[in-house]
Structure 1
Amino acid sequence: MRTGLHAGYDRVVLDLSGEEPVLGWFVSVVDEAVEDPSGLPMDVEGAAFLQVVVRGIDWTTDSPERYDGDPVTGAGTEVVTEVVHGGLFEGQQQIVVGLTEETAFRVFSLPDPARIVIDVQHP
């Protein structure tokens, strides 16, 4: 996971590994950061939150490339405050993006290497 500042938007990139990663996801604005599936509150800096769920995660195999789960700060970004790993449940990885405020966003994938990209518009 990494963040970056661009003209007019902040970008969050989720790098994926594997020989043929399945790029499935859904993203929604949520009122509070709650860990899936426990329902416990998550400590995510921000006044608004994007919940990102990446599907098709192979959680059965140990991988040296697997992300360690430490939060990624939005250092130098305008809207993104923090990106935090949530629960991994039934092949779905939850990630919560903290924002300074709710604003427009877009999500798309890029190949070679496989990535899911979230662009968050500056207000």
Structure 2
Amino acid sequence: MRRIWAAMAALVLAGTGAGMAAATADAAPAATARATACPTGWGSADKGGDATGAVPLKDIRTGRHACYDRMVFDVPGGGSSLGYRVGYVARLHSGASGRYIPVGGGAVLDVRVGAPAYDPETGAPTYPGRVGRTLPGVHLTGYRTFRDTRYAGSFEGETQIGLGVRARLPFRVVQLPGRLVVDVAHTWNGSR
């Protein structure tokens, strides 16, 4: 009888230990996710290079990430060396007309991509933006940093966008084949 009780006690303890191990294993990824550090050191100074091009812009889209909000400019055939200029401005003015374009948010990034929003050979639009209006298909509900977008026009091989953000925060620009990516951090200190 002692052996049966000892065996049952061992099974109960083993089951409790397995349950605790499973609970600990489940909690570990969540704790690791919370402890993940966000990149720092991007800064908020202007970034850029040559700003005009001949390959047309096709789309602008956004995405939310754990540490930053992202805007992607799709320029198929644009290679990995698209020209751009990105920097904070007090007020957004269209590069083509000088017209003031109001942009919501605590700070405004003036984003200029070396890709026209039209076919340079025919003049036909390749991106449906309208000056002074929000970007078509871009909805910022639920974003931590992005607040507003405005299309400022496309002129002489360059497309200009106003990106309203919560505050003047660090950002980076990444060039990928056929894309230009602008990431704006949620905070200055690298925490989520």
Which TM-score band (shorter chain)? 0.7 to 0.9
Q: Does 1:83 align with 2:143?
A: no
Alignment of 1:1-123 (within 5 A): 1-17=60-76, 19-20=77-78, 23-57=82-116, 58-63=119-124, 66-69=126-129, 70-71=134-135, 72-111=138-177, 114-123=178-187
Please identify which structure carries the higher strand content.
1
Q: Which deviations, in whole Å up to 9, do the C-alpha atoms of 1:13-70 show, x marking residues without a partner?
A: 11113x4456111111111121112121113221211111111435443457x11115
CA contact (8 A) 1:73 1:81 kept: no
Q: Per-residue deviation at 1:74?
A: 1.9
CA contact (8 A) 2:75 2:115 kept: no
Identity of aligned residues (%): 39
Between structure 1 and structure 2, the one with the greater Rg is 2
Q: Per-residue deviation at 1:7?
A: 0.9
- The alpha-carbon distance between structure 1 residues 20 and 8, as it changes in their structure 2 partners (threshold 3 A), is closer
Residues of 2 paired with 1:35 and 1:45: CA distance? 16
TM-score scaled by structure 1?
0.84
Q: CA RMSD in A?
A: 2.0
Q: Which 4+ runs in 1 deviate beyond 4 A?
A: none
Aligned residues: 119
Please identify which structure carries the higher helix content.
2
Bigger relative contact order, structure 1 or 2 (CA pairs below 8 A, ≥6 apart): 1
Residues of 2 paired with 1:117 and 1:20: CA distance? 13
Where in structure 2 are there 5+ consecutive unaligned residues?
A: 1-59, 188-192
Q: Per-residue deviation at 1:96?
A: 1.2
CA contact (8 A) 1:3 1:77 kept: no
Where in structure 1 are there 5+ consecutive unaligned residues?
A: none
